[in-house]
Amino acid sequence: MTLRLLSLLPVLFGITLLVFGFLHLIPGDPATVILGEHATPEQIAALSTQLGLDHSLVDQYLTFLTHLLHFNLGNSIIICIPVADEIRSRFPATLELSLAAMLVGLLLGIPAGVLAATRKNRWLDHVTMSGSLLGVSLPVYWLGLLLIYLFAVNLHWLPPSGRISVDTGLNFQPVTGFYVLDALLSLNGVALKDVLAHLILPALALSTIPLAILARITRSAMLEILSQDYIRTARAKGVPERWVIARHAFKNALLPISTIAGLQFGTLLTGAILTETIFSWSGMGSWIYEGILARDYPVVQGGVLTVAIAFVLINLLVDLSYAVFDPRIRFR
């Protein structure tokens, strides 16, 4: 365990180098890019001093690390709000959306993969694999617009965008930033219904890729396990097929499934930019996108750094989960 945690240090160090390097990989002077070509030399010099660009790269990086150790990510250039405060308010929204999308992927993808494996080369297997291929191929932005047009514009079943309706939000005071959890804690049934209605469409749009990948990985892992000798032995002993699938095959297939599920969840945090932008979801993705358009580099640096660290921590939790699914694995 200690070695596993220590191995994260060089990874985190590399992340800080990459995030810091973003500002200096841009062609030309970053201050000029931010202010535009019509900025005066005095304005460019003032912004360069504000951003610390008038120091050497080594000094700038050391200053960047020092600020990180003090949890100081700077202020937004455009709206002059501390980046750390924005992250605290927006990260729960992205995490809530990613958790909902991952839940949909797990609840639909894993059973679909198991059914496809147990009915290999039958019509259900072909339909499942064709559907998973379609899910991977569909662009998220196109699917999101299609869902809005169908369920919000035409059928009027669900709201097209946002996290909560304006009239409901007037009587709703979030505490944790997770609107579903806040509605449950406050026993506000109206807010809970409204928040869930706003969550359905973006969660469905974001879940298509992990759902499809989990279905294919589950099928592949189950087929490999079902071909093992101990499965044939269990069947020869008269063990009911449902117990063979649940207790012997699926339990041993959980290791690769958990690996892919963890990686896909980390990918959802980074891949929510398009989904959040389409559905006007006030999370990290749309915030980073707005920062890119406005050349607000403290926002981009802080957002990318936060998402990257979250991805690393998720991978660590996935590694630690191996010991739960396979008792033979031990960490030192």
Residue-level pLDDT at 150: 92
Gap between the terminal Cα atoms of the chain: 5
> What DSSP assignment string belongs to 275-297?
HHHHTT--SHHHHHHHHHHTT-H
Question: What SS3 class is residue 75?
Answer: strand
Q: How deeply is 70 buried, as exposed, middle or buried, from its count of CB atoms within 10 A (0-12, 13-18, 19+)?
A: exposed
Residue-level pLDDT at 303: 86
Q: CB-side exposure of 192: number of CA atoms within 13 Å?
A: 9
Which H helix or E strand runs over 22? helix 8-25
Write down the architecture of domain 87-325 according to CATH: Orthogonal Bundle (1.10)
> Per DSSP, which regions of the chain are E strands?
none
Which H helix or E strand runs over 298? helix 297-325
Residue-level pLDDT at 1: 57
Amino acid letter, 328: R
Residue-level pLDDT at 85: 87
Q: What is the pLDDT along the chain (332 residues), one digit of tens a residue?
A: 566 667 777 888 888 888 877 766 766 666 777 777 777 888 878 877 877 777 777 887 888 888 888 888 888 877 778 888 888 888 999 999 999 999 999 999 999 999 888 888 888 888 888 888 888 888 888 888 999 999 999 988 999 888 888 888 777 888 888 989 988 988 888 889 999 999 999 999 998 889 999 999 999 988 888 888 888 888 888 888 888 888 888 888 888 888 888 888 888 877 677 888 888 888 888 888 888 777 777 888 888 888 888 888 888 887 777 766 666 666 55
DSSP 8-state code for residue 82: B
Tokens standing for residue 225 = 């396990």
Residue-level pLDDT at 103: 92
Amino acid letter, 99: L
Tokens standing for residue 66 = 């020092």
Model pLDDT for residues 241-297, shown as the tens digit of each residue: 888 888 888 888 888 888 888 888 888 877 677 888 888 888 888 888 888 777 777
Question: Cα separation of 320 and 277, whole Å?
Answer: 34
- The closest of 73, 53, 56 to 65, measured between CA atoms, is 73
Residue-level pLDDT at 147: 92
As a residue count, the chain comes to: 332
Residue-level pLDDT at 176: 87
Question: Cα separation of 272 and 286, whole Å?
Answer: 8
Model-wide pTM > 0.95: no
Question: Cα separation of 11 and 313, whole Å?
Answer: 11
Q: Domain extents for the chain?
A: 2-69, 87-325
Q: What is the chain's mean pLDDT, rounded?
A: 83
